Amino acid sequence: MQHADPWTTLGPTLAPLAQMAGAGDGTGLGVLAAVVFWVAAVVSVLAGAAVFHVDSMARATYALALSFVAVGLAVLTLQQGYVGVVIVLMMVMEMAVMAVYMVMFMGMNPALMPMSMVHGKWAALGAAGATFVLLAAGALLVPWPERRSGPPPDLTRALGEALMGSHMLVMVAVSPVMVATIVGGVLLSSHRTRYDRLGDDLDRRPADDPQPGGVGR
Amino acid sequence: MSLELVLVVAAALFSVGLYGALSQQVVVMVMMGLELMLNGVILAVAAMWWYLAPDPSGQVLLLVVIAAMTVEMAMGFAVATVLHRRSGSDMTDMATELDR
């Protein structure tokens, strides 16, 4: 049974508003999805800009988390339930870890200390502006092809079957990269490893010489 | 709501992230900029998937982008830890060992 497109059921008063929001564009997204998408899009860009404008790293972290949640919501409105939920859950956890790093490394209460640590601000602004103009021009001027086909009935199931079937190579490639990341992360962040041992005894501490020498360690 | 407008939003996210990645001095803030750039890429890929060819291949590509984001964050935090341990600072301007 076909479901009625909400756009077509709107009265003549609301139709222009719905059209402005982009509903009824032939891809099956309703008015509500279009409105939610645009709210999420505006929030994501504003929160992203706030990351580099607010006075403290803690607030910057919250702003980035908000931007990611908004993008996750926007992806959800594009009918990608699994990926949207993964983005939201992963980014909220990642920002929680990031907040811990702020407290560890900044050596102060990051919510109370105003900070602005930038270099080459105007050059960076120019590069970012030029990139935006270039990308936006490409997005608006390229003759995008017509939609090739409709989505499968159960997207999450189709994604799972693709990952475990025709696109297994992606999982095979991503898995060792993840393992390498874990090993690299542990090696980089370890205080002392087998390469920093001071003699044969792993528990030996560095010599407390009044005059440091050697290779500078 | 059309593909073009969604891509313009994604371009805005990417550009804001680029500004942060180029201008910030603190390693963690540089990572935030890179994250925002990948945020824009995610939105662009999701929109192109929906508006051009909504079959599972596009979603697989999205998962690869998310995996790349995870790797970037994990290694970035590890490098920030090393920098802080070696020089007591997490500023990019202090990480000049490769200059010599």
> Residue by residue, what is the 3-state secondary structure of B21-47?
HHHECEHHHHHHHHHHHHHHHHHHHHH
Give tens-digit pLDDT for B55-72: 888 888 888 888 888 898
- Residue B82: Cβ within 10 Å count: 16
Cα angle B86, B89, B92; round to 5: 100
Question: How does A80-104 read in b/e, with b if 16+ C-beta sit within 10 Å?
Answer: bebbbebbbebbeebbeebbebbee
Considering only the beta carbons, identify the residue of A41, A120, A189 that sits closest to B81.
Answer: A189
| pTM given for the model | 0.79
Chains A, B: CB contacts under 8 A, how many?
A: 239
A8 touches chain B (CB under 8 A): no
What ipTM goes with this model?
A: 0.87
A171 Cβ neighbours under 8 A, 6+ residues apart: A163, A164
Give tens-digit pLDDT for B77-89: 888 888 887 777 7
Residues of A whose CB is below 8 A from B56: 152, 155, 158-159, 161-162, 167
Report the distance separating Cα A170 and Cα B62, nearest Å: 11
Give tens-digit pLDDT for A7-60: 444 444 444 444 544 554 555 567 888 888 899 999 999 999 998 888 777 788
Percent of chain A with pLDDT over 90: 24
So where are chain A's domains?
19-117, 153-192
Which of the four pLDDT bands, split at 50, 70 and 90, describes residue A195?
Answer: low
Report the distance separating Cα A156 and Cα A204, nearest Å: 54
Separation in Å, CA of B41 to nearest CA in chain A: 11
Asked if the Cβ–Cβ distance from B74 to A182 is below 8 Å, we say yes
- Tell the burial category of A53 from Cβ atoms under 10 Å away from its Cβ (0-12, 13-18, 19+): exposed
A189 touches chain B (CB under 8 A): yes
Which of the four pLDDT bands, split at 50, 70 and 90, describes residue B8?
Answer: very high
So where are chain B's domains?
3-95
Mean pLDDT of chain A: 77
Which of the four pLDDT bands, split at 50, 70 and 90, describes residue B52?
Answer: confident
Considering only the beta carbons, identify the residue of B24, B42, B56 that sits closest to A52.
Answer: B24
A48 touches chain B (CB under 8 A): yes
Q: Which of the residues B2, B6, B15, B52 would you substitute to probe the A interface, choosing the one with the greatest number of A C-beta atoms within 10 Å?
A: B15
Distance in angstroms between the alpha carbons of the first and the last residue of chain A: 75
A66 touches chain B (CB under 8 A): no
B87 Cβ neighbours under 8 A, 6+ residues apart: B94, B95
Give tens-digit pLDDT for A118-170: 788 888 899 999 999 999 999 999 898 888 777 788 888 888 888 888 889 98
Residue in B closest to A173 by C-alpha: B64
Retrieve residue B11's tokens. Answer: 């371009």
Residues of A whose CB is below 8 A from B3: 139, 144
Residue A118, helix vs strand vs coil: strand
Q: What's the longest Cα–Cα distance across chain B?
A: 52
Query: Is 1.10.287.3510 the CATH number for B3-95?
Result: yes
